[in-house]
A = this chain, B = another copy of it.
Amino acid sequence: MHLNWLRSFPALPDRQDPDLTPSALARAELESAFPGWDLTLTLSPGMGDTWVYDRIGRSVILTGGETGLLYGAYALIRAGLAGRALPEHLESAPAYGLRMIDCWDNLDGSIERGYAGRSLFFEGGRFAYDPARVRHVARMMASVGLNVLCVNNVNVRQPAQSLMDGLLPDLSALADLFRPFGVRLMISVDFSAPLGCGVGSADPLSPEVRQWWAEAADRIYAEVPDLAGFLVKADSEGQPGPHTYGRTHAEGANMLAEALRPHGGTVVWRCFVYNCKQDWRDKGTDRPMAAYDTYKPLDGQFAENVILQVKNGPFDFQVREPLSPLLLGMSRTPLGLEVQLAQEYTGQQIDLYTMATLWKEIMADLPAGNIRAMAAVSNLGRDENYFGHPLAAVNLFTFGRLCWDPAGYDPEAAVTEWIRLSYGFTGAEENALRGWMLRSREIYEKYTAPLGLCWMVNPHTHYGPNPWGYEFDLWGTYNRADRQAVGIDRTGAGTGYTLQYPPALRERYENPQTCPDGLKLFFHRMAYDAVMADGRTLIQRIYDDHFEGAREAEAMRDALKALPFPAPDRQVIAERADRQAENAREWRDVVNTFFRRLSGADDARGRRIYD
């Protein structure tokens, strides 16, 4: 079994005591990792996830809640194995209560936007898993403080509704495997579920519907008493929702919240709502504005046990987006931030794309205020190494580190720790690998869609270049490139999207001088001959980025191949690096050719751009 960053951890016993508690597991993990320690563990149930560490002479004292002790234990083990010295006293508590991985696994075993093989949990309409591998996933999650796993796709495809019914005993058995690791399960539910069950409606204000959900919750919690709650995608991309009945999303979410409240469950309600049947001719609709327009008027109307889960950007996990204004505009509503570890638009776990710095950038604009949860779309699958690309594991690792302590989160330190736990490298090798991993986002960004343009991908697969693949489609994803210019003016003078931001960000984005280069074409329509801050024209910047990005992908490939990864990672990494370099070359040429055909501009440095 591939162990990823737990490679250096002591082996777990083959069989799991059914009554194993997180605190008992914490003790076992520590004793096995540091057999010589003079260790005192003190359980203080009220402390929950929190832990306190003290070293007095040769004695180590760890105090914490049931899960707190476990997180403390893993923190000590990570530090110890990574060779990081700890102070004599340390206290730690997570910044967010829900630290989630959302699996988009279907019961037929496929994974929507999965790039690491088939589902770890399902096959053929049923649960089907290797308990040892599931426990390993749970341990990976716990080792970085993650505490919820939503097991099925937010697009609830049948027979997933049986998770609320016939498959409950199996859901319970899976929860038993995760429980010692402090990981609670969540399920995605179909808002229209009552319709198929003898209730002629899914109207959230209908007493029969409310009753149906209350009974469903009772039934589910009888089997899985610590279920974290329901994840819901409603009125989005064809999914049903409260709008079907003329109700607001607050009314829809609150109905589910009422059903979960007696059981302590949470409704995580996704805010990914937009018009997915837009007319490309219609310039009066600007997709990034949709979520804010839908939810802002509902601020303050949601029940206490509802969390609105908002994607980091206003589009959909593109390579570069500004922070979603919805995250800044809902001061009276508990929010959750959603990111995507699954590399749908960021190389599909073929291309190296380390998100460690992305987390930092996202958090830079995010006020501490009312964020209650962090969720990441899973990049896990049944591949032997769980992540498709062995180095993609770092994204789950650093995401966990971020969720626990966003203030103290340091991308470089987090990646370093991951490398040390994963591979026994020399300092020079470690430095080389860390360097490429931290640069990998910039490299990918350079050779794909330029300066925040988004969506220049092949339809359906979302891998590889297709500058106008979505240009005349229904999805609101246009670049409107012509002979002179490219991009959409999203300022107050344009679609008005910037007006959804608080003044400081609005001004920053509206002014082409202060708008970050990486978002220039997200916010502005620019002429190809517009001069950038560094004196280059826009078109030359596009050409330069693409030539550089492809060249750097080749350099990265060569560098990765030179590193002494153990088998089988070595072969997998080499094979993916080859595919990435080819993909980068394709992106370079397609994007450069596309813009040259439109602009007529030659490369100032005379490099080859195909006709």
Which A residues have a C-beta under 8 Å from some C-beta of B?
280-281, 283, 459-460, 465-469, 472, 480-483, 586, 589-590, 593-594, 596-598, 600, 610-611
Contact = CB atoms under 8 A, between A and B. Distances in A.
Given A281-B589, A467-B468, A482-B600, 12 more contacts: A280-B590, A281-B610, A459-B469, A465-B472, A466-B468, A466-B469, A468-B469, A469-B469, A480-B611, A482-B596, A482-B598, A483-B483
Contacts of A459: 459, 469
Contacts of A610: 280-281
Contacts of A597: 481-483, 598
A484 B593 CA distance: 14
Contact of A611 (B460, B468, B472, B482): B482
Contacts of A600: 482-483
8 contacts: A281-B589, A465-B472, A466-B469, A467-B468, A469-B469, A472-B586, A480-B611, A482-B597
A492 to B, nearest CB: 20
Contacts of A596: 482
Between A280, A281, A466, A472, the greatest number of chain B beta carbons within 10 A of the residue's beta carbon is seen for A472
Closest 5 CB pairs of A and B: A482-B597, A472-B590, A281-B610, A468-B468, A483-B600
Nearest to A468: B468
Between A459, A469, A586, the greatest number of chain B beta carbons within 10 A of the residue's beta carbon is seen for A469
A156 to B, nearest CB: 25
Given A281-B610, A467-B468, A472-B590, A598 B483 contact: yes
A597 B467 CA distance: 14
Contacts of A480: 611
A138 B467 CA distance: 48
A590 to B, nearest CB: 5
Nearest to A283: B611
Nearest to A483: B600
Contacts of A466: 468-469, 472
A367 B467 CA distance: 44
Contacts of A283: 611
A586 B281 CA distance: 10
A287 to B, nearest CB: 17
A78 B100 CA distance: 71
Contacts of A469: 459, 466, 468-469
A547 to B, nearest CB: 15
Nearest to A467: B468
Nearest to A469: B469
A185 B104 CA distance: 46
Contacts of A482: 596-598, 600, 611
Contacts of A460: 460
A586 B283 CA distance: 16
A285 to B, nearest CB: 14
A468 B594 CA distance: 10
Nearest to A591: B472
A465 to B, nearest CB: 7
Contacts of A465: 472
A467 B611 CA distance: 16
Nearest to A282: B610
Nearest to A482: B597
A594 B482 CA distance: 9
Nearest to A610: B281
Between A283, A465, A610, the greatest number of chain B beta carbons within 10 A of the residue's beta carbon is seen for A610
A460 to B, nearest CB: 7
Between A467, A480, A482, A611, the greatest number of chain B beta carbons within 10 A of the residue's beta carbon is seen for A482
A354 to B, nearest CB: 28
A25 B482 CA distance: 65
Contacts of A281: 589, 610
Contacts of A483: 483, 597-598, 600
Nearest to A480: B611
A126 to B, nearest CB: 21
A260 to B, nearest CB: 41
A483 B483 CA distance: 7
Nearest to A597: B482
Contacts of A598: 482-483, 597-598
A130 to B, nearest CB: 29
A245 to B, nearest CB: 28
Contacts of A467: 468
Between A280, A283, A460, A596, the greatest number of chain B beta carbons within 10 A of the residue's beta carbon is seen for A280
